[in-house]
Amino acid sequence: MKNEWNWMLDPKSEDGGLNMNKKGVNIRCGDVLDELKKMESESIDLVITSPPYNLMNTTSNSMKSGTSSKWKNNAIQKGYKNHKDSLSKEDYNIWIRDCLTEMFRVLKPNGAIFLNHKFRVQGGLIEGHPFLEGFNVRQIIIWARAGGFNFNDTYFLPTYEVIYMMPKTPKGKDAFRLIKGANRKTDIWKINQERNNPHPAPFPVELVDNILTSCEGNVVLDPFAGSGTTGISAIKNGWDCILIDNSKEYCEMAKKRIEEFNYEGELNESRV
C-alpha cells in the first residue's frame, strides 16, 4: 500500500524534521511493513503497540455475524477501516512474525518492545500466541481491565489482557533495563478501558504512561497506532514518537486528538 500521507507535529522545528532534542510526533499513514522497512536500523528506543488480534477469524458464529447481544457493544465486531481482522491462523502468525522482525530491527540494542495482546477461547480451548516462538520475551504484564463482556457459561468472564515485554538484548551490557524504582509498579496493572474514543479498540493512555515513565530513551514507535494513544502519552512524558496506521481515517483521528492535546497547553485528562 502506498503511503497516504505523512504528518509531523514539531512546533519548535524549523525544518519540520523529527529533531531528537525536541519533542515531536510523526504520523505515517501506510502499511506497517512498508513503513517499517523505510526506517533506519537501531533508531528507536521503545516500541509500544497493540496489533489487530485477528478476532474476526473465530469459531464463534455470533461474533462473526455480530448477532449475539453480548457483542452489541463491541465496536471491533466489524474489523478495522482498512483491515478485516480475519486472516487465516497461518497468515496471521506469519504477518505478526514479520512485523516483530522489523520492529526488532529498528530497535536500538538496549531497547524493548511492549506488545499488547489477549488470549481467547476457540473451539472450547484457550488459543496460544505461537507468533512469539523464537522471539525474546522477558515478562508478561497483566493488564487488568475494569470488566468484560464475553459472558459464556463454559469459562469465567475474561477481564485481562497481556503486555509482553520483549527486550532486543536479553542480558549483558546492552540488556534492556527499567529506570531505578520502576519495578515497584509490579506486573499487574489495574487500568480501566479507554472511554469516549471513537476508535474500535484503543488502549488507555495510562497504560502507555506506565511504560514510558519506566524506561530511558527519546523515541517511541507505535506501528499499529490507531487513534494515536501512544502519541498522547509521548507528549505528556517528553518522548518523540512515530506512529503508523494504514487507515487514513484513524490517522486523521490521531492527528486531531494529538493537536488538541498538545495545543491546549494544560493537560486536559477528560479529552484524553
Ligand X SMILES: C[S@@+](CC[C@H](N)C(=O)[O-])C[C@H]1O[C@@H](n2cnc3c(N)ncnc32)[C@H](O)[C@@H]1O
Out of 23, 117, 168, 199, the only residue in the binding site for ligand X (CB under 6 A) is 199
Between residues 110 and 114, which has the closer beta carbon with respect to ligand X? 114
Q: How many residues bind ligand X (CB under 6 A)?
A: 22
Regarding 202 and contact with ligand X (CB under 6 A), the answer is yes
Between residues 162 and 175, which has the closer beta carbon with respect to ligand X? 162
Q: What are phi and psi of 139, to 5 degrees?
A: -150, 150
Burial of 9 (0-12, 13-18, 19+ CB in 10 A): buried
Regarding 176 and contact with ligand X (CB under 6 A), the answer is no
Between residues 214 and 233, which has the closer beta carbon with respect to ligand X? 233
Q: Is 5 helix (H, G, I), strand (E, B) or coil?
A: strand
Regarding 261 and contact with ligand X (CB under 6 A), the answer is no
Between residues 108 and 199, which has the closer beta carbon with respect to ligand X? 199
Looking at 124-132, 209-217, 233-241, 243-251, which segment touches ligand X (CB under 6 A)? 243-251
In our burial notation (b when 16+ CB lie closer than 10 A, e otherwise), range 149-169 reads ebeeeeeeebeebebbbbbbb
Regarding 163 and contact with ligand X (CB under 6 A), the answer is no
Regarding 226 and contact with ligand X (CB under 6 A), the answer is yes
Return the bridge partners of 188, or none.
142
Residue with cell 474489523: 79
Closest CB to ligand X: residue number: 226
Regarding 52 and contact with ligand X (CB under 6 A), the answer is yes
Looking at 9-17, 165-173, 179-187, 220-228, which segment touches ligand X (CB under 6 A)? 220-228
Question: Which grid coordinates are listed for 209?
Answer: 504512561
Q: In sequence order, what are the residues at sequence separation of 6 or more whose Cβ sits closer than 8 angstroms to the Cβ of residue 140?
A: 162, 163, 164, 165, 187
Strand residue runs (E) in 118-239: 121-122, 125-126, 139-144, 160-167, 188-190, 219-222
Regarding 255 and contact with ligand X (CB under 6 A), the answer is no
Residue with cell 475474561: 158
Helices (H), the chain: 32-37, 61-65, 89-106, 205-212, 229-237, 248-263
Out of 27, 32, 163, 242, the only residue in the binding site for ligand X (CB under 6 A) is 32
- The DSSP code for 63 is H
Looking at 11-19, 36-44, 151-159, 222-230, which segment touches ligand X (CB under 6 A)? 222-230
Contacts with ligand X, 68-97, as mask; x by CB under 6 A:
------------x-xx--------------
Out of 102, 161, 209, 245, the only residue in the binding site for ligand X (CB under 6 A) is 245
**Whole-number minimum distance, CB 14 to ligand X, in Å?**
30
Out of 203, 209, 236, 241, the only residue in the binding site for ligand X (CB under 6 A) is 203
Distance between CA atoms of residues 154 and 9, nearest Å: 48
Identify whether the C-beta of residue 168 lies closer than 8 Å to the C-beta of residue 136. Answer: yes
Between residues 45 and 102, which has the closer beta carbon with respect to ligand X? 102
